[in-house]
Copies of this chain bind each other. A is one copy, B any other.
Amino acid sequence: QHHQLSQSRCSCIQTIDQLHPSMKISNVKIALKQNFCENVEIIVTLQNGRRKCLNPESEIGKNIINFMESMKKTTKKN
């Protein structure tokens, strides 16, 4: 199931639910909700330069978002 988001300025039009083990990851960018895009976006750049968007509602997507939330909380404590 794909996220079609043409009108807002989100980067991710289509998303995937899983990363394939063969995918060599160069970096992962987690974009939090912004005024120009109300979705959390998880953009995986592969070593071959191609980019994949991870579905924030997938299992791996939820893990990433939960982790980001927990990271924010740690900044509040100390």
Task: Give the interface of A toward B (CB within 8 A).
Answer: 18-21, 23, 25-32, 34, 47, 59-60, 63-64, 67-68, 71-72, 74-76, 78
B residues less than 8 Å from A47 (CB atoms): 34
Report copies per complex: 2
B residues less than 8 Å from A76 (CB atoms): 21
Most chain-B CB neighbours within 10 Å: which of A20, A23, A59, A68?
A68
Which of B28, B32, B64, B67 contacts A25, CB < 8 Å?
Answer: B32
Q: A60-B74, A63-B71, A74-B60 are in contact. Are A32 and B27 (CB under 8 A)?
A: yes
B residues less than 8 Å from A21 (CB atoms): 75-76
